[in-house]
A and B are shown apart, each in its own frame.
Chain A
């Protein structure tokens, strides 16, 4: 895949990497339910951007609007602009299937296909039309996902025989296999034990050399450990009791966690709320 280098936005410091996503005025509705309101979110290349916040704050919804997974939910409606390397992902000529080949996804619970380890990784490239060199793609993807050494002798065995942590790394390998340039992760370690979680976090650190990562997490320490930038969301309860997710603050992770500019952020990261 050819990477399209976006121009740095004006006024950005020279340490800023090119923008991969430029989300402007994003609103997501499920039927009459206004799930997310007016989100502005820049995501930069080869960085890990963490989306944090309490349950129901819309962080997963925002993540899923980045590769059009929300399209799969009936009644879901997205307004505003999600620019990916300057291209509006919701433009009329954009094919969501192609979008998802460039922007891979790892889900909260490990969800391997009930097939062999090999077939799990090879599925994406296969449907994308890759016919030769599949073995190399599978090996390379499993190596990048730090799983190769554990599974190289048993590629034809069922993915369900792996442990939860291994399954999640298999899902990461599966996402890598389509050669995306962004990997979205929706609470990738929340169903795993602390050691498996640590492995996923180390892996994220290695992966950001080659990929741009956006990760949703409810784990403050995780966000602080792995991410370069953090977006903090919260729930706004309207007069009629409706709950809408809003972005409170976005910035460098180090700044957010040491010197948040908003009171809500400080309360949340110090554990006083949520």
Chain B
């Protein structure tokens, strides 16, 4: 080109800004990330679809009766009412024991404990405990609650199972509550101390109200975790086949402290092992009920959190 004109500032800026390069690396990365996500989604969707497809006929045919009738060796009559009762009873233990003990431990660790090597050691080990396989807690439950304390718990009862599950989720409870407390801004604590509050008054009136939504959400999710556990219950005394309904006249205390018990995941485990073809559909139906309850629990957690957050 002979007629070389002097480029204007506009031309230079346009040249610098417009040259779009193909970002191959970035593209590959995004596709990879999306694939990773897809794998887990596909597995989940397949699982749920498969269960619903197999279990739906049973649920459609039996309806509410499937949920409200007791276990039976006869696949046409078998229901899961003892499993639901057992699981609800276990959850009650988890809430009553793990919630107060977990929150109290978290309050101590976050608000009172001096930052010493011992404290850090304890915190690290609480995190380790949360990662211990649940079967190990089952063995612990068998050794302590069924055998050692059998006189108090009644051996293989709901009490033993409930205590085992409570111990199992306690570390998770402590961690979630600790994180909820740690998320409360330091400025709020300083403000409360500044007007002459004692440490407990600061916690009771300012820190806990702010941390409550997160603690409750964590608690509900922890319960959901316990709800799905089967291995520790198998060891600490849940029975696989519970064919007899409680004798009439049995009190709630009998149900808790003397009766054999089972739980929903145990029923799933047991039915899945049965050779008869009918039990395949029953297993799927029980899983659908289990998933539905878990979904309900998680939804409760979300509603709770939203309600509390809107209040402040």
Contact = CB atoms under 8 A, between A and B. Distances in A.
Given A113-B188, A115-B209, A175-B194, 9 more contacts: A101-B195, A105-B190, A107-B194, A113-B206, A123-B195, A127-B195, A127-B196, A127-B198, A178-B195
B197 A111 contact: no
A141 to B, nearest CB: 11
A171 B196 contact: no
A174 B196 contact: no
B312 A123 contact: no
A171 to B, nearest CB: 7
Contacts of B190: 69, 72, 105, 107, 111
Main secondary structure on B side of the interface with A: helix
B115 A123 contact: no
A100 B191 contact: no
7 contacts: A97-B197, A100-B195, A105-B190, A107-B187, A107-B190, A111-B190, A114-B209
B158 to A, nearest CB: 40
Interface string A118-147: 000001100110000000000000000000
Q: How large is the interface on A (under 10, 10 to 19, 20 to 34, 35 or more residues)?
A: 20 to 34
Nearest to A119: B205
Given A74-B115, A111-B187, A127 B197 contact: yes
A105 B206 CA distance: 17
B278 interface: no
Contacts of A127: 195-198, 201, 205
A98 interface: yes
Interface in B180-207: 185, 187-198, 201, 205-206
Contact of B192 (A67, A113, A160, A177): A113
Contacts of B201: 127
In the complex, the 10 A-B pairs of residues with the closest C-beta atoms, listed nearest first:
A101-B196, A124-B195, A111-B187, A105-B194, A100-B196, A114-B312, A111-B191, A127-B201, A97-B198, A127-B197
Interface residues of B, number: 21
A17 interface: no
Contacts, number: 70
Contacts of A177: 195
Nearest to B184: A114
Given A74-B115, A127-B205, A113 B191 contact: yes
Contacts of A165: none
Given A97-B198, A101-B195, A114 B187 contact: no
Contacts of A174: 191, 195
Most buried by A among B114, B188, B191: B191
B210 interface: yes
Nearest to A68: B193
A190 interface: no
